[in-house]
Amino acid sequence: MKTKNIYLFSISLSILLLSIFLISGLDPLFTSDSAAYLLNARELYIPMERPIFYSAFIAGIRELSQWIHPPQLFEIWGIQLLLISLGISLFIRRCFPDMPLSMVLVVLIFIGFLSPLPWFIPQLMPDIFTPILFLYACLFLMRKNTKEAYWFGCITLLCAVMHNSNLMILSLFSAGLFILYLLWKRKLTSQKFKDLSTIKPPQWMPFGPALKQLMLLSLLPWAVVIGSNIWVGNGFTVGKGSHVFFMGKLCENGILKKYLDEHCAAKPSPLCAFKDNLPEHTWDFVWDDDGILEKTGGWHHSNIEYNKIIMGTLASPKYLFLHVLASAKASVHQLLLTHAGDGIERLDTGGTLAKELKTQFPHDYQRFITNNTQQKMGYNFNFYNQVYDWSTVIILSVALLIILTNPTETVSVFFWVTFLFVLCNAFATATFANVLSRLNARDIWLLPMMGLLLILHHILERIQKKKVKQT
């Protein structure tokens, strides 16, 4: 019997809220980047290294709250909780409309207690908007009417502008889905796609216009972010500091060292003085206050020199191949980093975060300096991550076994669509930002969630077939 969406939403919301209460006592969670988002929320300027929109989201909720009572961070992550809970409940019901409530409860319990999702919901970070992006982009494709298309499209747009990586993830995901649609439409019969072409596509795959609309929708966030930079005089760019991150990536993957060794004699660069002492990781290059970046022009005066090197590596077939190789290697590495807790550590009670909390959210500031669980380091991430790892391995193993033994299983397409999104996230973050477990753990739970749904759907079908035979 179908359960009304509102009931499923309430159950999803309650389970996730209980899970957050058990792990953090409903305290917000912070990383060092949370301070930057709070600072931008107060000053509302467009920074060089990130979009303004998550900070604007914080500022908007804060200003609305002040009309009623002193603002609290619970209201901000509470909206994040509402969006993810609603997205999960609608997504499950649209993909598996006949699944009984008892089976859906199994999935919700997994999400709440056996996945890293609850760690991301109360974080004062835009990471939670990446899985929300997936849910509402799929709901946009499965919409039942024009009103739903507008609502799901608006939420998809909101999620996409929250973080630069989401811009590329949405574009890659929509393009990938459209390619899959074309493959099924043309009914390829080559050996490479033989199995794929025999799988019955999910209910939204045959609708080419919806996929085309999603591709068009994926362009809109780019226009919004680039337009915001043009408006403040940063030029036609996603971020005025993009060259810094790309150079940090060249440093991390070893391409910068090879390029400088080959070209410094003929094309001297300020970076040549540091070519034998380059930092190992992107974040070391980007965020070291007294590092190579600061000694070669800093954020504001390095773009011309850095862009020469970046374009030099992209224009050369030799270095372009190294880019592809490094990207593939980093993407695989990113996929394997699934642990929660990255960046959640004890933070300085006299730093920027504390100062901004004191100014904008006094109630949360008092708890931050006196009784915040994160500040007490009361989290045993080793235990949690072992639980997450084992549950994921078991679920994915069973799900893949079902897919291999039932290649025409219709719902297996949902699994591969989810994998496509997770892969897009790994590629975008590992290639253009950092290889960090935080950037993969934020959405990796979608894959075992879909695997568990596939397993339960398979069990349900077997039960129904057995009943038919008995009658």
Q: Tell me the sheet residues that pair with 29.
A: 123
Taking the CA atoms of the chain, what radius of gyration do you get in angstroms?
23
**How far is 276 from 67, CA to CA, in rounded Å?**
57
Burial class (CB in 10 A: 0-12, 13-18, 19+), 279: middle
Closest Cα partner for 90 from 20, 155, 19, 183? 155
**How far is 442 from 370, CA to CA, in rounded Å?**
28
pLDDT digits (tens), the chain, 471 positions? 344 567 888 899 999 999 999 988 889 999 989 999 999 999 888 888 788 999 999 999 999 988 888 899 999 999 999 999 999 999 999 888 888 989 999 999 999 999 999 999 999 999 999 999 999 999 999 888 899 999 999 999 999 999 999 999 999 999 998 888 777 766 544 545 444 444 455 554 545 678 889 999 999 999 999 999 898 888 888 888 888 888 888 888 888 889 888 888 888 888 888 888 888 888 788 877 778 888 888 888 888 888 888 898 888 899 899 989 999 999 999 999 999 988 888 888 888 999 999 999 999 999 888 888 888 766 788 889 999 999 999 999 999 999 988 866 667 888 989 999 999 999 999 988 888 899 999 999 999 999 999 999 989 988 888 877 776
Q: What pLDDT sits at residue 163? A: 93
The letter for the amino acid at 248 is: G
- Supply angle C-alpha 143, 117, 112, rounded to 5: 90
- Supply angle C-alpha 449, 450, 455, rounded to 5: 100
Q: What pLDDT sits at residue 240? A: 81
Tokens 């709070």 locate to 38
Question: Distances from the Cα of 289 to the Cαs of 236, 240, 256, in angstroms?
Answer: 27, 18, 20
Instruction: Determine contact, residues 408/199, Cβ cutoff 8 Å.
Output: yes
**How far is 384 from 115, CA to CA, in rounded Å?**
9
Closest Cα partner for 63 from 80, 41, 79? 41
298: number of Cβ within 10 Å: 11
User: What is the CA 465 to chain-centroid distance, rounded?
Assistant: 39
Q: What pLDDT sits at residue 197? A: 45
Return phi, psi of residue 29, to 5°. Answer: -110, 150
Q: Which tokens in the block code for residue 372?
A: 């915040």
Q: What pLDDT sits at residue 380? A: 82
Question: Distances from the Cα of 65 to the Cαs of 203, 363, 426, in angstroms?
Answer: 41, 13, 36
User: How many residues are present in the chain?
Assistant: 471
Q: Which tokens in the block code for residue 385?
A: 């991550």
Instruction: Determine contact, residues 230/236, Cβ cutoff 8 Å.
Output: yes
Q: What pLDDT sits at residue 1? A: 39
162: number of Cβ within 10 Å: 25
Element spanning 405, H or E: helix 381-405
Q: Which tokens in the block code for residue 86?
A: 């609603």
| Residue 407 DSSP SS3 | coil
The letter for the amino acid at 187 is: K
Closest Cα partner for 91 from 392, 446, 448, 338? 446
